[in-house]
Structure 1
Amino acid sequence: MPALPASVRDALKRDHTITAWDPEDEQAWEAGNAAIAKRNLVWSVICEHVGFSIWSLFSVMALFMGPEYGISLDQKFIIGATATLVGSCLRIPYTQATARFGGRNWAIFSAIVLLIPTGLTMMLMMNPGEFGFGWFLAVAALTGFGGGNFASSMTNINAFYPQRLKGWALGLNAGGGNIGVPVVQLIGLAVIWLASDQPEIVCSIYLVALAVAGVGAAIYMDNLDHQTSSGRAMIDCLKYRDTWLICLLYVGTFGSFIGFGFAFSQVLNISFTSAGAAKPALAAASIAWIGPLLGSLSRPYGGKLADRIGGGRVTLYSFVAMTASAAVLVVAGTIADTNGKVITGPILTTFVIAFIALFLISGIANGSVYKIIPTIWEHKSAHLTALNAVGKTKWSRSMSGALIGIAGAAGGLGGVGINLVLRASYKSNQSATFAFWVFMVFYVVAGVITWWFYARRPIVLGETTDLAVADPAAVSGHLTGEIGTTDKAMA
């Protein structure tokens, strides 16, 4: 058996717990801490990326699930909604996990535990007709653990990087995770093209990828002894009106991204089948990955644009554009419905263009909504007269981090809603037109809320409409050591 490389042997021998980590110490940063942080970032991106792919695994498996599996169309949408729901709910406990168990330790666990749903998915797909809907639902719920990886990964990397570099590091970490959605769809496309009756190949690839991610995290990542997270801040955050407003906006932005990420391939498969395509699954797979990829890549640009003209304005313009895209879907769907629910070539082309536009714009809005959050708490902290300047900064950053975690979970629930609305629409009307109407109305409501509270004036955050918060003096004492949570980013 060949010997391990010296660098790997050294990595295995070293202590993986770092004490007294101070990323703001520029001298220490240049002397070696930058390399340590980069090493942890690389493997954090890998673990999160694979986690996102497993989270959206059934968006690909649905294309392989023909009549022999005994899974109906509406059941496929429920399977996707279940994975989305579990992944969204797990984001909150995963946010707290790195402080309790260590960033390296949790990265190993979060990668290795996904071997279970991936292996079970392989079992289901290799035995069509032998396992019922309940099995698929249970395994889809387990793939949802991949959705929680984002929260723990972002919390961990946030602690490694100084304030001046967090935007870049966390943006890279978030983008690397989001791209896991189109990557698994591209792998699915390749398998459908080369071996259309062997979905287990996709699962095999990810079993290997998970093993590599887990072993790599064990060898190269580190635990920090001072990571903190505030469950109290999450509770206090819920007492503010703006928490609920931002959650609603993020339901429309990230919820659209992840919801369409799960459902787009199924909608395309149905549409290509109606249009008479010879191989509808292959045709759907060849297009489905484009939207999630563009949505992932556009996210950083939404943040940059928000820096220039304001997060509220960019979010407002995004919802206007998303409303227009949904309106195009409504018109196209209505035309198809009046034509005996037959989807012609031009209608299909319109569907594809409008959906891809929704992905692209939702990615921009993801970045711009994130930019609104620190401004909210910065403004509110100015009114906490019992706190000094340092105390106000700690309070603002802790509340921002809490809202980001809550909104990230709420946003994922929007993906659940999209799958359920599409299911109901197809089940009752044999078309998606009703669902398109629902999406359009929601985007109108979200746009009005954005305009009223965050775009018509630079800051509209009156304290009188908010519930009472915890005693500022108590908050000051409770938040000691929690600087640095503001810059977490939502997936």
Structure 2
Amino acid sequence: MTTTEETKTAFSFQKRGRWIDHWEPDNAEFWENGGKKTARKNLIFSVFAENLGFSIWVIWGSVVTAMGAAGFDFLAGLGKGNPTAVSNALLLTSTPTLVGAALRIPYTFAIPRFGGRNFTVFSAGMLLLPALGLAWFINQPGTPMWVFMLLAALAGVGGGNFSSSMANINFFFPEGKKGAALGINAAGGNLGVAQTQLFVPLIITLGTHIMAKDAGGYRFGITLAVLMWIPFILIAMFGALRYMDSLSGAKSDGTSYKLALTNRHTWVMAILYIGTFGSFIGFSFAFPTLLKANFPDLAKISWMGTLGNLAFLGALVGSMSRPFGGWIADKLTGAKITLYVFAGMAVSTLLIMASLSAKNFPLYLISFLLLFVLTGVGNGSTYRMIPSIFSAESRRRASESGQDVSVALASAKRQAGAAIGVIGAVGASGGWLLQQALRLSNVHYHSMTPAFWGYAVAYLAMAGLTWWFYLRSSFAVGRAPSLAHANV
């Protein structure tokens, strides 16, 4: 046995975290001799840290609904549909979305630069700043709104955690297992939205019962709801430091990023991801505010108020349907599922408008839950399309130039990985755009109906975009045969 072969098979699992100089997960013997166990160990702690990142990222969606009762005048009257209060609430909930989207690109590059273990400790520790800051200033009744805007912006660091976590886990798993690992990682993070929207209202309600149903009681409840995350953040930091690993060979590929940025399909898919993930995260942030503003009488039902007006259900069903979207896209192709998703989202939006016109809460909730399910399916199907598109393009170019197909496909995988980082960042920014449309519609028309009409039109346009680029029989990448038959 040669020295190289001995190195490949000599790797063994170590419980304690460290720098790993040689990592070859696609080697079956290496994988079984400790590689698999090491990768799974890192996945577990990565999911835990990313889940907390989403929890802090989305926490403002639940906190703003109680801040008016806590004595902050700029949110007073939110439960009565006060246009100024609704606008301020949407401004506070949309700010973390925008910052989180912007941080996704630098967070992707941070893993090769600092190592997965080190950056996971750092990114988890950064969550302490918005949490402790909110816990302090929520107890200062005279605090102006701009301070809370800064704290909301700080919460955006939780959104950046998604990209660093996904980039890190991508290096640990072999090609045949990356899809499942990244799906678990993504779903685990997305579930952080649902758990926050479930537990934060519960803790706020508990705090007001412990103290009193006045401004001081609400401030105490919000403080408890924020501080409850601190022990988990500290556990995530400790777990990452002690048990996670960093890979010396996890290097960034600048060439692949340049190629991905100049490829038109990166930007077409970014637009489609604005429609799916942007809608998921945007409505997740806004849903508690929308429920309270549009159906204020629900607050009179004690158990409904305790459950945050059921807002957590949207993020829950959207998170759970994401893996299904990837699975069914494998069966029917991602482009077909994405087309159906956008058509369904347009119909769901029309049903939401009908429920608002009729003031029908059951129809409103069912329509929104359907919309959330479709965003989750669309998230899975669009991610499924990305590697297929780059693979089909590389095969076409290899055929035209005589390049070795295996070399072309290896390049396609690197470009697809780079494109996913860009597409994820642009898609998350769609959550900010969605909430701003709601806010401006409410300010200028004292109604959210114009915004929902805009969403319906946008979803139909995205369905048309999907068909035009990836399903019509005459489509060609350059002068290549149609991608409609390339399992996109």
Which TM class, normalised by the smaller chain length? Answer: 0.7 to 0.9
* Residue 310 of structure 1 pairs with residue 333 of structure 2: yes
* Whole-angstrom distance in 1 between the partners of 2:156 and 2:171: 25
Answer whether contact 2:17 2:243 (CA < 8 A) is retained: no
User: Counterpart of 1:77?
Assistant: 90
User: Counterpart of 1:446?
Assistant: 462
* Whole-angstrom distance in 1 between the partners of 2:34 and 2:184: 21
Post-superposition Cα deviations, 1:136-182, rounded to whole Å, max 9, x if no partner, equal: 11111111011011111111111111122212211111110110000
User: Counterpart of 1:401?
Assistant: 417
Answer whether contact 1:269 1:280 (CA < 8 A) is retained: no
RMSD over equivalenced CA pairs, Å: 2.1
- 1:34-49 matches, cutoff 5 A: 34-49=36-51
* Whole-angstrom distance in 2 between the partners of 1:416 and 1:189: 23
User: Counterpart of 2:112?
Assistant: 99
Q: Give the SS at the match of 1:56.
A: helix
- 1:361-376 matches, cutoff 5 A: 361-376=374-389
Q: Per-residue deviation at 1:15?
A: 6.3
User: Counterpart of 1:32?
Assistant: 34
Name the aligned partner's letter for residue 462 of structure 1: V
* Whole-angstrom distance in 2 between the partners of 1:246 and 1:139: 32
Name the aligned partner's letter for residue 415 of structure 1: G
Name the aligned partner's letter for residue 169 of structure 2: I
* Whole-angstrom distance in 1 between the partners of 2:382 and 2:191: 19
Post-superposition Cα deviations, 1:388-425, rounded to whole Å, max 9, x if no partner, equal: 33431222011101111111011111100111111112
Answer whether contact 1:290 1:356 (CA < 8 A) is retained: yes
Answer whether contact 2:202 2:306 (CA < 8 A) is retained: no
Answer whether contact 1:272 1:280 (CA < 8 A) is retained: no
Distance 1:231 1:81, change over 3 A: farther
* Whole-angstrom distance in 1 between the partners of 2:298 and 2:121: 46
- Equivalent of 2:177 in 165, 184, 189: 165
Name the aligned partner's letter for residue 86 of structure 1: V
User: Counterpart of 1:356?
Assistant: 369
- 1:382-397 matches, cutoff 5 A: 382=395, 383-384=397-398, 385=401, 387-397=403-413
Name the aligned partner's letter for residue 70 of structure 1: D
* Whole-angstrom distance in 2 between the partners of 1:284 and 1:183: 11
Answer whether contact 1:107 1:217 (CA < 8 A) is retained: yes
User: Counterpart of 2:78?
Assistant: none
Distance 1:15 1:132, change over 3 A: closer
Answer whether contact 2:86 2:293 (CA < 8 A) is retained: no
Q: TM-score, normalised by structure 1?
A: 0.86
Q: Per-residue deviation at 1:239?
A: 2.0
- Equivalent of 1:462 in 477, 480, 483: 477
Distance 1:269 1:279, change over 3 A: farther
- Equivalent of 2:434 in 412, 418, 432: 418
Answer whether contact 1:63 1:281 (CA < 8 A) is retained: no
Distance 1:348 1:283, change over 3 A: farther
* Residue 324 of structure 1 pairs with residue 347 of structure 2: yes
Name the aligned partner's letter for residue 408 of structure 1: G
Q: Per-residue deviation at 1:193?
A: 3.3
Answer whether contact 1:52 1:146 (CA < 8 A) is retained: yes
Distance 1:315 1:15, change over 3 A: closer
* Whole-angstrom distance in 2 between the partners of 1:254 and 1:284: 24
- 1:203-282 matches, cutoff 5 A: 203-273=226-296, 277=300, 282=305
Answer whether contact 1:271 1:348 (CA < 8 A) is retained: no
Distance 1:233 1:401, change over 3 A: same
* Whole-angstrom distance in 1 between the partners of 2:377 and 2:24: 33
* Residue 435 of structure 1 pairs with residue 451 of structure 2: yes
* Whole-angstrom distance in 2 between the partners of 1:281 and 1:262: 18
Contiguous gaps of at least 5 residues in structure 1: 1-9, 337-342, 466-491
* Whole-angstrom distance in 2 between the partners of 1:295 and 1:135: 32
User: Counterpart of 2:102?
Assistant: 89
Q: Give the SS at the match of 1:199.
A: helix
Q: Per-residue deviation at 1:253?
A: 0.1
Post-superposition Cα deviations, 1:362-404, rounded to whole Å, max 9, x if no partner, equal: 0001110111111211121121426433431222011101111
Name the aligned partner's letter for residue 19 of structure 1: D
- 1:289-304 matches, cutoff 5 A: 289-304=312-327
* Whole-angstrom distance in 2 between the partners of 1:297 and 1:74: 30
Name the aligned partner's letter for residue 416 of structure 2: S
- % identity of equivalent residues: 37
Distance 1:454 1:188, change over 3 A: same
Q: Per-residue deviation at 1:281?
A: 8.0
Q: TM-score, normalised by structure 2?
A: 0.87
- Equivalent of 1:144 in 145, 156, 164: 156
Name the aligned partner's letter for residue 248 of structure 1: I
* Whole-angstrom distance in 1 between the partners of 2:55 and 2:465: 33
Answer whether contact 2:387 2:413 (CA < 8 A) is retained: yes
Moved over 6 A (4+): none
* Whole-angstrom distance in 1 between the partners of 2:460 and 2:383: 20
* Whole-angstrom distance in 2 between the partners of 1:136 and 1:234: 36
* Whole-angstrom distance in 2 between the partners of 1:141 and 1:245: 28
* Whole-angstrom distance in 2 between the partners of 1:400 and 1:112: 30
Name the aligned partner's letter for residue 126 of structure 1: N
* Whole-angstrom distance in 2 between the partners of 1:278 and 1:73: 21
Q: Give the SS at the match of 1:463.
A: coil
Answer whether contact 1:329 1:433 (CA < 8 A) is retained: no
* Residue 55 of structure 1 pairs with residue 57 of structure 2: yes
